Homo-oligomer: A and B are copies of this chain.
């Protein structure tokens, strides 16, 4: 991470402050679709987090999170990947800052295919090969590696809230896979 990261902590928002800002400004996020690749660089599997939602159901999710003040986008990607997949996951964040898409999560459903009732979040989405050992961290119950064909199964969409299923399929399309 950036050498300036320590200074950044001083600028973190309290929970209350963040709540207040969330209704006033679009919040910058990153979404990462973790993949395993073969020796030719082709994706062979997609990693999805299994997470208990607040209503007790189980959701499949992509790696996702906020970009902090004075944090580079690639450092935010690394931080969220290591937080969710563990410190040994060895993400290979792409060299270019160009995301494969930008997902606009609106608090109002239906404006875009993405929805976040808490806020207006705009997320830079990247496919990130991970080369190391992954083990789910924190509140994630499990990490599932699906083949690209399994990940493209439409039935998966109903297990992925907020538009993560749509984003996953857009990532598969970007990888050249049939969706």
Interface set of A (CB-CB < 8 Å, partner B): 1-2, 4, 11-13, 17, 21, 23-28, 35, 37, 40-43, 67-75, 78, 91-104, 106-108, 111-113, 120, 122, 124, 127, 129, 154, 163, 166, 169-170, 172-179
Q: Is the CB of B174 within 8 A of A73?
A: no
- Inter-chain contacts of A112 with B (CB < 8 A): 72, 176
User: Sorted from nearest, which 7 A-B pairs have the closest CB atoms?
Assistant: A41-B93, A173-B173, A170-B173, A113-B178, A166-B178, A97-B176, A97-B102
Is the CB–CB distance between B74 and A41 below 8 Å?
A: yes
- A35 near B106: Cβ-Cβ < 8 Å: no
Nearest CB of B to A11, in Å: 5
Q: Is the CB of B175 within 8 A of A129?
A: no
Most B-side CB within 10 Å, residue of A73, A108, A179: A179
- Are B174 and A107 neighbours in the complex by a CB distance under 8 Å? no
List the B side residues contacting A120 at CB < 8 Å.
69-70
For A101, the chain B residues whose CB sits under 8 A away are 96-98, 173-174, 176
